[in-house]
Amino acid sequence: MSHLVTTAVRPKACPCGALVLAGVAEGLHVWADPVGLNRAGWVAAILAGRETYRLTRTGLVALDSDRAKDDRIGGPIVARHKCREPIPPHHREISTPPQIENTKEIPF
């Protein structure tokens, strides 16, 4: 039996009132902010002492110095939740929806 279990994340309300992603990452219970970080946000989170994770389909993957460079692990980077310290807007990853060409034709 492995103790380094990773589970899928689920939305949960923190006692501070914030929505968090709760799950187990490699055997450790984690509450992460549900906001993807851009590069500046990732650096700021590390400097602030927050653990960072990749959010994958199977759960959270802790980012250490080796995994941080691994491009095979996909998904947004999120940081461990700290009550009353939300991720500032300028540290958030901005994703734009894919542009679909509007030809006014039936797509089939």
pLDDT digits (tens, 9 = 90+) for 89-100: 999 998 766 666
Domain count, the chain: 1
Residue 45 is inside which H or E element, if any?
helix 39-47
Query: Does 103 fall in a domain?
Result: no
| Per-position DSSP letters for 59-80, written without gaps between them | EEEE--TTGGG-TTS-S-EEEB
In terms of residue numbers, what domain contains 60? Answer: 10-91
77 has pLDDT over 60: yes
pLDDT of residue 84: 94
Query: Does 108 fall in a domain?
Result: no
Tokens of 32: 């992460």
Query: Does 107 fall in a domain?
Result: no
pLDDT tens, position by position, 21-70: 999 998 999 999 999 999 999 999 999 999 999 999 899 999 987 777 77
Query: Does 71 fall in a domain?
Result: yes
